[in-house]
């Protein structure tokens, strides 16, 4: 796996520090909420991020999921997202925090936000680890952002290429030969 890495964009230590800060901001935001939080993670890219984030949240938190497909196999371009299966979370009347790994064109989060909003949550906010700021559209609101990154295809810390590299602890860029 290491032989496929061209460069590390965000090392694991930096991610860990930022995740702690995000958890602090999220905790402040929901400090007055008595019913706690419902986190809905977008599968599968956000699982590593969510796993780390929730362990820094000292508030009552339930976890649900929503599955959205955008890339199939060996592509690094979104083909337009589609919902896969049902929303696995009871979000009506809850304070919902949607969590994804990255916002690029924003199509995935727009779809997920619309799906959640239709279920009548008490509140709906969105958190992403990474944002490609030149591409993210203004109409898709994101409340918590870990890092802004340049417009390159990244892997690691939950993000994959063709299913691989999710277990890499850093966020990294692959060598060109991997795409051949
Ligand atoms: P969007 O719909 O915002 O264009 O893309 C969001 C989804 O595409 C993310 O949930 C993620 O799964 C995938 N994605 C976008 N950019 C990247 C990237 O640089 N690397 C990886 N591995 N996935 C990405
Ligand atoms: Mg995704």
What are the pLDDT digits (tens) for 123-133?
Answer: 999 999 999 98
Full-model pTM: 0.95
60-73: per-residue pLDDT in tens? 999 999 998 776 66
- The pairing of strands 144-148 and 123-131 is parallel
- Residue owning the nearest CA to atom 9 of ligand 1: 102
The residue whose CB lies within 8 Å of the most ligand 1 atoms, and thus the one to mutate among 101, 114, 155, is 101
CA of 88 to the centre of ligand 2 (A): 16
CA distances from 136 to 25, 40, 84 (A): 22, 20, 23
Domains of the chain, earliest start first = 2-179 (3.40.50.2020)
Annotated catalytic residues are: 104
137-163: per-residue pLDDT in tens? 888 999 999 999 999 999 999 999 999
pLDDT at 106 over 70: yes
Cβ-proximal residues to 21 (8 Å cutoff; 6+ apart), any chain: none
């Amino acid at each position: 796996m290491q032989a496929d890495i061209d460069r590390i964009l965000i090392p694991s230590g930096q991610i860990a520090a930022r995740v702690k800060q995000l958890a602090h901001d999220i905790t402040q935001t929901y400090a007055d909420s008595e019913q706690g939080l419902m986190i809905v993670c977008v599968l599968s890219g956000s699982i590593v991020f969510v796993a780390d984030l929730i362990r820094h949240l000292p508030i009552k938190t339930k976890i649900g999921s929503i599955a959205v497909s955008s890339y199939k196999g060996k592509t690094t371009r979104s083909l337009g997202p589609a919902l896969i299966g049902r929303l696995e979370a009871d979000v009506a009347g809850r304070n919902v925090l949607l969590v994804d790994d990255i916002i690029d064109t924003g199509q995935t989060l727009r779809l997920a936000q619309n799906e959640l909003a239709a279920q009548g949550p008490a509140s709906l906010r969105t958190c992403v680890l990474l944002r490609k700021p030149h591409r993210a559209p203004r109409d898709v609101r994101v409340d918590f952002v870990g890092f802004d990154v340049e417009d390159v295809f990244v892997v690691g810390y939950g993000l994959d290429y063709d299913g691989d590299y999710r277990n890499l602890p850093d966020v990294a860029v692959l060598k060109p030969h991997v795409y051949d």
